[in-house]
Amino acid sequence: MIRRLHYFLALLALAGTMGFGLYSGWHGAVGFALGALASWWNFWRLRALVTTLGTAASDGMMGAVAWMLFRFIVLVLGAFVILKFTKISLSAAAFGLFLSVGAVVLETIFETTYER
């Protein structure tokens, strides 16, 4: 299931980058690609967090909260840099951030349709 999610993430990232590239040029393509990269990174870290949360070596709830706060700060700083210093499309980056949601929706459709 996780491997299929990564395939869906890659497929949506490629399709979205090409679509935004055709629609709004390189500004949109780079924006979507950056958003997709941030979405994949967030998915990867959330999966690692959930995997290690129940183990004896985990940092517990405070470590999880600190890590989520750090990710939020990185996301806000990235959006600020995009807005302030580049011509990269912020709307395309915002769409790219929802890449993980789209991959989970595709995985849910796949699971309910083909895995009986």
pLDDT in tens, the chain (116 residues): 678 888 999 999 999 999 999 998 998 899 899 889 988 888 887 787 777 766 666 556 666 677 778 878 887 887 787 777 878 877 888 888 899 899 999 999 988 888 76
Contact, 52 vs 25, CB < 8 A? no
Q: Return the pLDDT at 59.
A: 58
Number of domains the chain is built from: 1
Domain that holds residue 107: 2-114
